[in-house]
Structure 1
Amino acid sequence: MKAAPPPIALSDLDRDELLQLLQARPVYCLRPADLWSARYDVLERRAKVASERREAAGDAYYPLMRAMDPSTMSQRAWSKLQADREAARKAYEVAQRAYRRAAGARDRAFDALMASYGHRREPA
């Protein structure tokens, strides 16, 4: 059984997706697969950028989590360290959520692209 691709129109694409579409295909022969392919390519790049940001936020967060003895530090330094840890944790969580959203959008676009070619991904 062929899976029906989700409907997509040229007006559904954002600026980056339209630019990707113009680079990849001549405009006179557009099919739903072409539109989904442009969307997938853009979302793949966005997911990669989100992944890099998540890694950078993790690189900033994890060194702050090493064990330290507060008795060896002044109260002011300890308070600053705690504030830095909290800020880094929040930044990492924001980056993690952004990556999950970007990866989810990329995966949904991939499923739609495959459906536009008549393929269906089996649930895991």
Structure 2
Amino acid sequence: MNIIISNSSSDPIYLQITNQLKKYIITGDLKETEPLPSIRKLAKELQISVITTKRAYEELEKEGFVESVRGKGFYVALKNKDLIREKKMQMIENKLSKIIDESKMLGLGIDELIEIIKLLYE
């Protein structure tokens, strides 16, 4: 697991951590019941405040991605397969939305965009 903090990002650090961990969980890079690094360990690795790391983990817990076990830390939550699929679909839709916006800026028509997708899909 490699979390990258960008100082040039408009997102706060805790949100950058949250989004990257969500991605790892959704893609299966972090498996169900797998432990996350301790709050202190992750804060030290990223050279950030423990409070920031704690906030990221709490956000993930609120959204149901992780569970905390008192005295033991945070673990990837058991997920419903349909919920994971839905989250993956949402990620694809977000990426496609950005691609569509860029395509419009370039003046590409929908038929050209569909043709590109078909070629890349094969």
TM-score range, shorter chain: 0.3 to 0.5
Flag the structure with larger Rg: 1
The TM-score, its normalising length taken from structure 2, stands at: 0.32
The TM-score, its normalising length taken from structure 1, stands at: 0.32
> RCO higher in 1 or 2 (8 Å CA, sep ≥ 6)?
1
